[in-house]
Amino acid sequence: MTAVAVEARPPRAAGPSAPLRPGAVARQQRRTAYLLLAPCVIILLALAIFPLIFSGTLSFKVDSLYNPDIARFVGWRNYNDLFDDRRFWNSIELTVIWAVVVVSIQMVLGFFLAVLLDRKMKGAGLLRTLIIIPVFISPIAMGLTWRFIFEPVSGLANWILNTGFGLEKWTWLSHKDTALATLMFVDCWQWTPFIALILLAGMQSISPEINEAARLDRVRGVTYYWRIVIPLIRPVIMVVILIRLVDSIRIFDLNFIMTKGGPGSSTLLASVYDYTIFEQGHLGLMAAYGFLILILINIVVLAFLNTLYRTEKAARAADQP
């Protein structure tokens, strides 16, 4: 993200009153800036940083929701317990698979959707407005609606597949072989439009001169998108992938409301797993797992930024004669 932010930022002009008395004015301005920033930073310290420290401490304790008297420090025990638990590794593996698969599908579909909506027909604006609706409605309301659609007996999905394609009725969400795929399908339904819209905004910010040059050179169709559009909107693509990766690893709502991790543990992604630990009352263990999710997210972000940085450097080196 840093690399992109650096490129997108306009050059910083000198302060407004710079010519008058540079030193003193700049210093006074900086002090005011800190004052304006302070309330926001203090609140975030109290409501984000402090809870993080609190959670970190808790992860080294045994603490029960139902019996607060037994709370005491136990060192690394919670972490050791998790590392020894096969179901923990299972949920981490499932979460990584989930994030990679879901984001890949959404990026590809989102790109095609963006191309499809990137046209000058009457009503294109309305289509773009309509398609974004899924992004704005709550995963809870939609997750429950999808549960009804995938309901085995009277659900719409089975009816369409049965009358339209002659498939047998199937228990999509309550069979361990299809539950995760069904969940992925719903997640893609909700988030593909988000990606499409951001890519579309990128496509439409390509300057008319470039498009005109492409037209004169008869660069069209697949070549146009592959050779001109994708390289130009690459920064946007990278940031969107990053945001979606992080959000997919943290996913809770949809997973919780549609399957709650089941059947068995076939859809037990990290955050819902962590919630089940809370339900059992092991607060220390829950905090420890929460921290491991945070670390997992950081690993993914850093690995991603690292690759981004390296390909960027390689691309720049290739540009030099």
Partner 1 sequence: MTSSIYTRAINVLAVLVVVIWLIPVVWVALTSVKPTNVINAETPTFYSFEPTGEHYVEIFDRFRMDRAIVNSLVTVGVSTLIVMILALPAAYAVARMGLMGGDTWALVILSLRFLPGVVVVLPYFKMATWFSLIDTQIVLIVVYVAFGLPFAVWILRGFLLDLPKEVEEAARLDGLSWLQIIFRLILPMAAPGIAVTAIFTFVFSWNEYLYALFLTYDSATTMPVALQKTIDLYNVLWGSLSAGAVIQLLPMILVVFLLQRHIARGLALGAVK
Q: Which of residues 60-99 bind partner 1 (CB under 8 A)?
A: none
Mark residues 96-115: x for contact with partner 1 by CB under 8 A, - for none. Answer: -----------------x--
Considering only residues 133 to 192 of the shown chain, the ones binding partner 1 according to CB under 8 A are 133-134, 136-142, 144-149, 151, 153-156, 159, 189
Q: Cα(92)–Cα(290) distance, rounded to whole angstroms? A: 12
Residues 269-308 that bind partner 1 (CB under 8 A): 271, 274-275, 278, 283, 286-287, 289-291, 293-294, 297, 301
Handedness of CA 75, 80, 81, 82 (dihedral sign): positive
- In DSSP notation, 93-113 reads HHHHHHHHHHHHHHHHHHHHH
> Closest distance between partner 1 and the C-beta of residue 126, in Å?
9
Q: Which is nearer to partner 1, 279 or 317 (CB)?
A: 279
Distance, in Å, from the CA atom of 56 to the CA atom of 138, rounded to the nearest integer, reads 30
Pick the closer one to partner 1 by CB: 306 or 320: 306
* From candidates 173, 184, 197, 229, binder to partner 1 by CB under 8 A: 197
DSSP classification of residue 19: T
Q: How far is the CB of 321 from partner 1 (least distance, A)?
A: 30
- Intra-chain end-to-end CA distance of the chain, in Å: 28
Minimum gap (Å) between residue 35 Cβ and partner 1? 8
Binding of residue 309 to partner 1 (CB under 8 A)? no
**Structural tokens at position 303:** 């690995």
Minimum separation from the CB atom of position 200 to partner 1 (A): 7
Q: Are 255 and 139 in contact (CB under 8 A)?
A: no
Closer to partner 1 at the Cβ: 10 or 321? Answer: 10
| Token pair recorded at residue 82 | 């998790």
**Cβ atoms < 10 Å from Cβ of 268:** 21
Binding mask 27-46 for partner 1 (x = CB under 8 A): --xx-xxx-xx-xxx-xx--
- How far is 270 from 107, CA to CA, in rounded Å? 22
Select from 8, 108, 302, 303 the one that contacts partner 1 (CB under 8 A). Answer: 8
- Tally of CB atoms within 10 A around 301: 15
**Distance, CA of 251 to chain centre:** 8
Nearest to partner 1 of 108, 124 (CB atom): 124
Distances (CA, A) of 96 to 90, 102, 142, 226, 282: 10, 10, 24, 28, 24
Region binding partner 1 by CB under 8 A among candidate stretches 11-19, 80-88, 209-217, 224-232: 11-19
> Binding partner 1 by CB under 8 A: which of 48, 222, 317, 318?
48
